[in-house]
Each structure stands twice: as C-alpha cells, then as structure tokens.
Structure 1
C-alpha cells in the first residue's frame, strides 16, 4: 500500500515538475557515480551495481528523447578506473561490451535516431570492447536526432594534453601558424564525439566535484552543475527533472547578470564608448525584472550604427 502511494506521489510530482519546465538544455553530461556503493548497500557484488546502473542509463535516454534534448555524454569509465582490481575490470569490460551491442541493436535506439559514439583513449581498452564500440558506431552512423557519447578510458586533462600535442605537431610541421590558433583549432583536436558545448553536468552519488569531465566542452564555468545524493542505480526521472530545473534557473540568473552588467556599463560610459554592452543589453533585456525594464524604457538606450561615427 505504501509503495503504491509512493508511486502515485512520484507520478504527480513528475507532472508538476514537467509543467514548470520551459527551456531545456541541448547537451547534458552525466557522471554516473555510486554503482559500487549501491551494490554494497544492497549486499550485492560490485558488478551487480554496475549492471543495475546500466538500466538507469537506458532510462535516461528515454527521458532525453521525451524532452527533445539533442546530446548526452555519459562518464562510464575514466582513466583512473584502470586502477581497480583485475576481476572487477574484466567484469566491467564484459558489461560494457554487452551493452554496446544491446544498444546498437535495440529497436528504441533506431526508432529515436540515436547516434552512438565512444570518446576517450579507446586503444587502451580490450579488443572485445573496441569491437563493440566499432559495431555500435557503424550501426548508428546515419542518425543524428540524439547524439549519445560514451566516455571510456576518458580523462579531461589527458584529452587536453593530446589536443595540445596535436596542435604543437601541426605548428612544428609548418601547417599552422601560432597566431592562427583559436578555440576552433583546439576543438577540432579534441576527441571526436561531442558536437556542442555542455549545458548541464549531473553527478549522482553525493560527491560535489566534476572529476576531470569534459573541462573544455563545459566552457569554463558556464555549464550548470547538479549534484544529487542518489546513487546512479537509484536515479529517478524526478531527479532528472530537478536537474533540468537547476539548469533553467542557472540560465535565467546568467541572463540577468549579463543584462545588469551591460546596463551598468552603458550608463557609466555611454552607448558610443560601449556599443557591445548596448547590444548585450538589448539581447538580454527580457531577463530583467519588470521594474528594471521600466527604468530602461523610461530612459531608452538607442543603438547606434558604428559606421555613422
């Protein structure tokens, strides 16, 4: 009886959260933490925690499809995970291999147009894992409705170091001038997979750190971050919707901050000296509270044509 009431309450809360949401992120990255601790709490072997966590992974793809999210990156196996016991590693590699084949052949993946890629130092993984990764890549290569990136043998610092070496080699070979190195140069040298910056990072399991995950793609500190207590196998749709709400609040706060800074600059310097701030103010004016918008409307800022000066 209590379990049924809990399900009804959760379902009602999900509907409330869903109605509250407006803007959703384009790219969500997830640190799937707590599988082993969940297994320990249940009195199970560690591998069972990973297997139950894989079920949550399948669910999050369904939730992302429902919310029209374009891209998901899952932190499945980090470079630090190689330090685990041989027995645990072999069981993990077996599970990863199995799930890549399962996902690549699943009807729901093909119906939703999911593009599956692996990112990381894939050459460090056993041949059976590499074969499964290649199979999933081939099977879904024509899709682009939802991009699913699985981070394997991945470390953010290692990715940036590899990109740096690649750029340095191009400079040494005379194919690239140092003065021409820009954001796009570095982005092109990163692991193939993510197609856009990360909007939201989710970490389960209670730890409040991003653990070397997608530092470049997270665009500095611009990505919203949602830390939550449930272990990954316990992560529910309610938790996912809460994370989206955190992103939405973060985005609204960011827009207000940009608008207020631009307004302060325009008032302090004048529109001629601060044309860029004027453009920012016009772009984010709607993010300000009505009282501040009324102040702007009472003393409107006119955008000038720089060519007229």
Structure 2
C-alpha cells in the first residue's frame, strides 16, 4: 500500500470538471484488474442521489473489480432510498419537489436490508408494557421512519472515502493510487434532526481549524464530503452528508490521535424513564443544528486551491 503525501493540496472541485481515472488496480480492494474483472465505477452512484442530479455536475469515475462494484451497489440501494425519505414529522431537509417524488418511488422499489421489506413498509415500532410501581401500569409505543443499519452506512462511507483517497494519491504513470495506512475509525451517524447533538458539534469544532485536504460537493448538494488533516499526526478527520438527510463522521489513519480526540468529546446521555428486569426505556432528545452554526462543510477562501492539471 502506498502512503499519501501528507502535504498534498486541497482539492476543491469546479462544478463541471470531469474526473476519470484509468487505474490498473481495484480502487476498493487493490486487486490487479484483468479485462474480465474490470468494471467502470461511479463513486457517487448515479442512483444514489436523486435522478438527474449529477447531470452536468462532476463525479469521480474509475475502475473497480466486479465483486467490489456489486457490494457497493447493494449498499447504495436501500441507503439511498431511506435517506430520501422524510423525518418522523414528514419534513425533508430540502424543498426539491422532484427529489421528494423520486424518494417516494424508491421507497416502493427498494428493499430495506434491515427489515427485508420495501422501504415504504419498513417504518419501525417499539412497544413496551410494564409497571412503573405497584398498581400503576404503563404502555409505551414509539414509531420511526425506516432506519439504516449503522454498519452498512459506515461501510459505504469507507468505500467512498477510499475512492477519493485513491484519487488524491493517483499516479498517472503507474495508473495506481494509494490506500491510507493504519485504520478506519467511524464515530457516529445522525439524521438531520440531530446534527446539533453535543458529540457532532464537538467533532465539528475540533477539526474546523485543521488543514482541509478534500472538499467535495456535487449533485446540487445531495452529496458532500470533507477531509481534514491532523496538524501533528498521520490522521485525517472526515465527514459525509447524503441527500440533505444523513451525516457521518469519523477518522482514518493513526488510531491513537483519533482516540484521544474522541475521549475528549462530549458524551451523549440518555434519560431512563422505565426500568424492569430484562427491559428498560431510555431516550435522548434530538438536537437540530442551526444553519448559522453549521461549519462542517465550509471551506474559507484562504484554504481554497484548484487541483493540478
């Protein structure tokens, strides 16, 4: 595996820049590609964002082996459909009517890997019955929109990050890119209604002064990605936003510096309202993030540099 140049410049993509690599190794697993194994891969799946949103906007296109390409497509299917659904109150994070209609169609045709049902029929309910104290009985019912398994979300994030890191370290002569050393360390994924929770905000404030190495926004903002380099270590912070709905945050590279930061971040505390043998009920109030307080994907003018030709 090749180590990235830690001094590489920030890549901030112009809206119509074609990004296509002719790589000899699979961007995801490193397999040397033979013609029978090679597929053309859109890192931001054209069906992952609403239909037509990538028309005339940039995407990263490169080669991947068939198994990796199929694995990523499977992850994208239900995650795309679920992130295009409204929240518990029926609200979207955007006012794009075509995207809302596209989300409705996907909810019918995509199958949740969590429930094995269509996304439309994958809302979840929790029922709890018990006694608060002698003579007082209680019944609680909670409903939520379709949910994504966190491990699937973090796996898709890992693949997208791997592809962009490969692009940043790509050598056009050898037609190969690099893979980060050490590990992948996801922290949290949150719906839009909880982007202002203490852990997400603590992460955002901690990394906002770090050197920005990648700033990628496309598909009318339905896809966002940023990576920032730790000032003293071979550790990168990353954040992704999908379909104006879901954010994911974490680190890759050396684990210890990342762990030190995670240990310093605020803890998310849940309030327990009911507890009995073998069952309990706790909750945490979601915290939205005000637009004026949201700096996670902002890049200031003095950071911006265009990629080399």
- The structure that has the greater radius of gyration is 1
Give the TM bin, normalised by the shorter chain. Answer: under 0.3
TM-score by length of 1: 0.27
Task: Specify which structure has the higher proportion of strand.
Answer: 2
Task: Specify which structure has the higher proportion of helix.
Answer: 1
TM-score by length of 2: 0.27
